[in-house]
Amino acid sequence: MKGIKLRNYHAAKYDEPIIMEMGVKGRRGIMVPPVHEEIAESAGDIKDLIPEKARRKTAPNLPEIDQYHTLMHFLRLSQMTLGMETGIDIGEGTCTMKYSPKVNEELVRSPKMADVHPLQPESTLQGILQITYELRNYLKAISGLDEFSMQTGGGAHATYINACITRKYHQDRGELEQRNEVITTQFTHPCNAATPATAGFKVIFLPHKNGYPDIDALNSVVSDRTAAIHMTNPEDTGIYNPRVKEFTKIVHDAGGLCFYDQANANGIMGIARAREAGFDACHFNLHKTFSSPHGCEGPAGGAYGCTEALAPYLPIPLVTRTNDHYHLDFDRPKSIGKVRSFFGNLEVVLRAYAWIRSMGPEGLKTAAEISVLNNQYLTHLLLQIDGITAPFAEGKPRFEQVRFSMEKLKDETGFGSHEIQDRMVDFGIQSYWLSHHPYVVPEPFTPEPCETYSKEDIEYWASVIEQACKEARETPEVIRKAPHNQAIHRIKDFEQAEDAKRWATTWRAYQRKRKNG
């Protein structure tokens, strides 16, 4: 791309050992002072505080290492890592890697929030309950649905809750035995198949017709066995299903429920609502669309909303309000019960609340519009690169993301989306994400340039892809041996990650398996 200068980047590289290999016997971090005699006497022997059965017989085999070197070790590791705020994180499509304002972290870390204990009396939790309740009201307005629970700890958890509510709903009507099928589409997130399966349903996948879910196929399978449909819109491909209302009608006419996976609502927030599309329930990933930080297995929130008819089934406790008092309502006889300890990830709730307040209704809509606009620009740039295509729905607009294909590049050069991924990190940006399973789009990659990213960011990102594709044709050795400027090179023997005899997710397993050869 003209005028874009790619950075001369190199990652920090410390050749850092595994912490289990560090330390010296007898070395200590902080020396804890001895307690005063009176205190020791009144507290008694510390061993007595731990039940006999719970006491270790032998000391754990941990490295003995001081605080300074521990800190150094982890700081080094963090420097060897690319992240949302060191690179341009456009590549993680479906994840909506938007910037999370730091002021919201201040709120979460303030003692008013950090020191709150979930076992405090309700009367002393009024602040956070009010915030939870008001967030519920905002999400009601955004979705058009009637009630929300903040209990769920993530998106897949919310789809599971929907499967549980579906089960209870049909059970109440005496139809559960018969209604044992949940329908989903090929380009809906796979948790929408996995969670109903976990809840005991059979799962039926609808095929697509040129990128759109096949409505004739839906008509062919919908029946009195249909419990629900789980779908998203726009789908993973960024393609919006304009017939979504017909889908929900077909399923409703057959007696099934309709669930809208809105984990990523960034392309339609403030523009289209679950209610008008005919859905009975939906969820939002607060850690995506609503700006709570996403990734690193950090706390997530899959706010789950539904219509009045399904509200009695929501998990307990539900935050309610009478006059000016907020309650934790446990007295809900039809509820599917507890789905998580205490009240959900309230720090995520607080961040989402703060973000929505700072954006306002118009701001939310503008964020959606910019994310779609950004995607149009990125798509325009990427489709000019020889070897990249956007299969299906040719000529039709995409929303906030696109599932591109590098099949042409692979056929012509032997390098596909994996190899380009290995090269892009040499330019100081995170590698992209490819696709959910299965790879219906061959050699896939799925960028999502949400509203955070500037025109320059988008151009830089596209230029990196362009450069890597060019190298695939002109200097294949560069791609073959990539990455060159990273802390860690390619994994030497990837097959071991697929071999149960060799893989190791713990140090103990690693030692045991390595010992055995």
Partner 1 sequence: MVKTKIGLIVNPVAGMGGKVGLKGSDGDDIYRRALELGAHPVSPGRTRKALEILSDIKEDVELYTYPFEMGEDEAISCGFTPVVFGAITPGATKPEDTTRAAKELVRRGVSLLLFTGGDGTARNIYDAVSDSFPVLGIPGGVKIHSGVYAASPVKAARLVIDFVRNNGKISLQTAEVMDIDEELIRQDKVSAKLYGFMKIPYERGLNQSSKAGSNPGEGVHQDEIASDIIHNMDKDVIYLVAPGTTTKTFMDKLGLKGTLLGIDAVRNQKIEATDMNEAGILDLMKREPDTRFKIIIAIIGRQGYLFGRGNQQLSADVIRQVGRENIIVVATENKILSLKGEPFLLDTGDEELDKELEGYIKVIIGFGKRQVYAVSA
Return residues touching partner 1 (CB under 8 A): 193, 197, 201-208, 214, 216-217, 220-221, 410-411, 414, 416, 418, 434, 437-440, 442-443, 476, 494-495, 497-498
């609503």: which residue's tokens? 290
Residue 493 CB, shortest distance to partner 1, in Å, is: 10
Residue number, 208 or 273, with CB nearest to partner 1:
208
**Residues in the chain, overall count:** 517
Name the burial class of residue 331, with classes exposed (0-12), middle (13-18) and buried (19+) by CB atoms within 10 angstroms of its CB.
exposed
* 74 or 439: CB nearest partner 1: 439
List the alpha helices (DSSP H) in 147-275: 155-172, 191-198, 215-221, 244-253
- Bridge partners of residue 148, in order along the sequence: 305
**Smallest gap, in angstroms, from Cβ of residue 373 to partner 1?**
30
Q: Name residues whose C-beta falls within 8 Å of residue 130's C-beta, 6 or more positions apart in sequence.
A: 326
> By three-state DSSP, how is residue 281 classified?
strand
Hey, what are 500's tokens? 């149960």
Q: Residue 59 CB, nearest distance to partner 1 (Å)?
A: 34
Q: How far is it, in rounded angstroms, from Cα 500 to Cα 479?
A: 30
| C-alpha span between 27 and 63 (Å, rounded) | 9
Give the whole-angstrom CA distance, residue 400 versus residue 448.
Answer: 6
Which neighbouring-strand residues pair with 147?
Answer: 306
Question: What are the DSSP E strand ranges found in 352-450?
Answer: 404-405, 444-445
End-to-end Cα, the chain, rounded Å: 50
- Which C-beta is closer to partner 1: that of 275 or that of 470? 470
Extract the runs of DSSP E, i.e. beta strands, from 23-165. Answer: 147-149
Q: How far is CA 103 from the centre of its chain?
A: 22
CB closer to partner 1 out of 231 and 434: 434
Least Å distance between CB 220 and partner 1? 4
The crossing angle, in degrees rounded to 10, of helices 455-474 and 417-424 is: 120
Query: Min. distance of Cβ 258 from partner 1 in angstroms?
Result: 18
Which tokens is 305 given?
Answer: 């909303």
Cβ closer to partner 1: 114 or 197? 197
Least distance CB 4 / partner 1 (angstroms):
28
Torsional sign, CA 166, 167, 171, 175: positive
When the beta carbons of 139 and 250 are compared against partner 1, the nearer one is 250
Shortest Cβ 497–partner 1 spacing (Å): 4
User: Between residues 60 and 438, which has the closer beta carbon with respect to partner 1?
Assistant: 438
Query: Helix (H, G, I), strand (E, B), or coil: what is residue 75?
Result: helix
CB of 477 to partner 1, least distance (A): 11
The smaller minimum CB distance to partner 1, of residues 202 and 338, is found at: 202
Closer residue to partner 1 (CB): 101 or 190: 190
Smallest distance from partner 1 to CB 222, Å:
10
User: What letters, b where the CB count within 10 A reaches 16 and e where it falls short, cover 354-368?
Assistant: bbbeebeeeebeebb
Minimum Å distance from CB 393 to partner 1?
13
Please, what is the minimum distance in Å from the beta carbon of residue 436 to partner 1? 9
205 vs 362: CA distance, rounded Å:
37
Nearest distance from C-beta of residue 411 to partner 1, angstroms: 5
CA distances for 64 relative to 60, 310, 343, 358, angstroms:
11, 54, 38, 47
Q: Closest CB to partner 1 among 445 and 453? A: 445
State which residue, 10 or 489, has the beta carbon closest to partner 1.
489
Q: Which is nearer to partner 1, 201 or 240 (CB)?
A: 201
- Are the beta carbons of 332 and 184 closer than 8 angstroms? no
The helix/strand count (H/E) of the chain reads as 15, 13
Mind spelling out the 3-state secondary structure of 427-449? HCCCCCCCCCCCCCCCCEECCCC
Cβ contacts of 48 within 8 Å, gap of 6 or more: none
* Nearest distance from C-beta of residue 390 to partner 1, angstroms: 16
CA–CA separation, 160 vs 61, rounded Å?
38
Give 330 or 439: the residue with its C-beta nearer to partner 1: 439
